[in-house]
Structure 1
Amino acid sequence: MTKYAALDVSMEQTAICVVDENGRKVAEGKVPTDPDAISDWLTGKGGEIERIGMETGPLAVWLWNELTKRGLSIVCLDARHANAALSMMPNKTDRHDAAGLAQIVRTGWFKEVRIKSHGAYVARALLSARDLLVGVRGKIENEIRGLLKTFGVMFGKKVGGFARRAEEIVSGELVAAPEIKAIVETMMEARRSIIERIKVLDARVRAAAKQNAMARLFMTAPGVGAVIALSVASTYDDASRFRRSSSAGAYLGLTPRRYESGEVSRNGRVSKRGDKLTRTHLYEAANVILTRQVGFSSLKAWGLRIAKGAGFKKAKVAVARKLAVILHAMWKTKEPFRYAAAAA
Structure 2
Amino acid sequence: MLKLLGWVLTLALAAAAVLTLDPARLGLSTSIPVTQAIAMRPYLVAGFVVLGGVLLLGVLLAALLGRRWPRRTALAVVLLAVGAGHAGVLWHRGLGDEPLPAAQDGAVTVLTLNTLGGGSSPEQVADAADDAGADVLVLPETSADSARAIAEGLTERSGTAFQLFVERTGAWDSSSTALLVSEELGEYAQAPAPTTAHGAVRAEPVDGSGPVLVGVHPMSPHAPGPAMERWRTDLEAVTEPCRSEPGVVVAGDFNATLDHAPMRDIGSCVDASAEAGVGGVATWPAHLPRLVGAHIDHVLVDGDVYTVDAAAVLEVGASDHRAVVARISLK
TM-score by length of 1: 0.24
Larger relative contact order (CA 8 Å, sep ≥ 6): 2
Structure whose alpha-carbon radius of gyration is higher? 1
TM-score by length of 2: 0.24
Higher helix content, 1 or 2: 1
Higher strand content, 1 or 2: 2
